[in-house]
């Protein structure tokens, strides 16, 4: 039973670390002047508008 409990705890801690990492990545992408804005501006520069 203790082996099962320790495996369960390892899974919970691993998932917690993954969720925290994903939150940090999302914050970096969505913040003001973040990766999303930079990539949109790069695409706008690379593909000139036809108007």
Q: Taking the domains of the chain in order of start, what are their residue ranges?
A: 2-46
Which pLDDT value is given to residue 21?
A: 93
Which pLDDT value is given to residue 32?
A: 82
Q: Is the pLDDT of residue 2 over 70?
A: yes
Which pLDDT value is given to residue 9?
A: 95
CB–CB of 36/30 below 8 Å? yes
Query: From the centroid of its chain, how far is CA 20?
Result: 9
Could you read off the pLDDT of 16-28 as tens digits, one per residue? 999 999 988 888 8
Could you read off the pLDDT of 34-47 as tens digits, one per residue? 888 888 888 888 88
């Amino acid at each position: 039973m203790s082996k099962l409990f320790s495996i369960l705890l390892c899974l919970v801690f691993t998932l917690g670390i993954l969720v925290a990492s994903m939150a940090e990545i999302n914050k970096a992408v969505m913040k003001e002047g973040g990766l999303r804005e930079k990539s949109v501006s790069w695409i706008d520069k690379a593909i000139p508008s036809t108007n």
